Amino acid sequence: MEKSTSARDNSNTHAHTSPIVPKVELIALGRGRLAICVERFDRQTTVLEDGRLAVRRLHQEDLAQSLGIYPGSKYAELDPSSASAIAHLLRNHSSQPLRDIQGLARIMLLNYLVGNCDNHLKNLSLMHEGAWTRLAPAYDIVPTTLFDRFSRQMGMRIGRHGIIDEVIPEDFVELANELGISEELLRRTARELCDALPRSIDEEGERQARTGFEALAYDAENLIADMLPRKATLESFAQR
């Protein structure tokens, strides 16, 4: 559970309207304060015979650990690129490498589209279950471009550009090459996100407004408006 100090500090509500998240709900704490409650993907619950709830912690490691990077260097761009280094890691260690590399591509496009520049190595993880290793679900996706105090420098470069506003359609061609996937696969993923994401954000904002969080409908509108320049860039790549 994460807590914001007031309804005005709405980074938590923006995180809530982001897609590709587990079960999540907003809770009013009183005095204008909100809490966002997210179901953890690294916990497994079981109801025991006596009715008690047992919680088992699943083994996960963030990609800074997996790649031998110190936490203080989590924003460092890897050689030849973070995208290619992570794809190489998944290709060699994932139990389903193609699916996980496709998932990585989707997360990277999502981060770009919503304006999450805090996409560093500790915000991606591997899950280990017995002999299986998989890329963990996306987490900590926040549209940082909505907040002036955050840098526009992305945690992971896209193509040749690290500043989110400088990314051009050709950078996604290079990203596909770095990930080792076809341009058409990345274009299809881009088309799906550009089509579904604004609609999903709008619908979630309206849903939350009906439950008493009226401001979320306006937050959703602001997020969609902030996304428009990046959506145009991504669509330019997707429609080639």
pLDDT score recorded for residue 31: 79
Given a contact cutoff of 8 angstroms between Cβ atoms, the answer to whether 49 and 114 are in contact is no
pLDDT score recorded for residue 22: 62
- How far is the C-alpha of 117 from the C-alpha of 148, rounded, in Å? 12
Least confident segment among 32-36, 137-141, 154-158, 221-225: 32-36
Q: What is the pTM of this model?
A: 0.85
Model confidence pLDDT, tens digit, residues 1-13: 343 434 444 444 4
- State both tokens at 52: 């008690």
Percent of the chain with pLDDT over 70: 91
Beta bridge partners of 26: 36
Model confidence pLDDT, tens digit, residues 157-184: 999 999 999 999 999 999 999 999 999 9
Over residues 185-192, the mean pLDDT reads 98
Domain 58-238 has what CATH class? mainly alpha
For the CA atoms of 162, 75, 235, 148, the dihedral, rounded to the nearest 10 degrees, stands at -80
3 state SS of 14: helix
pLDDT score recorded for residue 37: 83
Among candidate residues 166, 110, 172, 134, the one with its CA nearest the CA of residue 58: 134
Helix, strand, coil % over all residues of the chain, rounded to 5: 50, 20, 30
Buried b (16+ CB within 10 A) or exposed e, 219-236: bbeebbebbeebbebbbe
